Amino acid sequence: ENPDLAARTRLVDPLIAHYHLRLGSDNAALRAFQRIVYDRNGNDIADFMFLPVNDASATDPERRGSHWSLLMVDRRERERPVAYHYDSAGRLNDQPAAQLARRLGAHLVPTRITQQQNGYDCGVFVLDGTRALVGRLGQRRQPARLHLDYLAVDRQALQNRLRG
């Protein structure tokens, strides 16, 4: 419904966010970042980035990751990007989110989100949180006011939307 916002928004693939941006070498992270933010003409047009954050370890093969959270990066001020972290399990992903925000050169701001009541709906929170934030940005709301402590996730509704 908002082509301008769509053109300035990037929904980053979880593998790119985790392996290239957060855990990759500096060169791999830079190349991945450039592919995300630049258009075909070489213009940096990505004002908003939505990145899934996973708690998998780069050094411990036994820690393959069991939790997802959301990092939204507001890049409208290119010299001072701000990253908002939404974690439905409290502060479980604080360290990986901080690491990812640091790699992106963004100041990390913790934000509120409804807390999940089970051990398996974190992905639903990431998807529904992204949907809610994009909707609010489409209404021209300021990201600093984009807490998601009102978010009511619905696994069945998400499955229905994904089925089309």
Annotated catalytic residue within 47, 74, 121, 122: 122
Sheet holding 68-74, edge to edge: 9-11, 48-54, 68-74, 82-86, 107-110
Active site residue 122: yes
Q: Distance (Å, rounded) from C-alpha 147 to C-alpha 120? A: 22
Torsion of CA 19, 88, 128, 46, to 10 degrees: -50
What residue type is 37 in one-letter code?
A: V
Annotated catalytic residue within 18, 67, 85, 121: 67
Active site residue 67: yes
Number of Cα atoms under 13 Å in the Cβ half of residue 30: 3
Annotated catalytic residue within 47, 55, 87, 128: 87
Query: Catalytic positions, please?
Result: 67, 87, 122
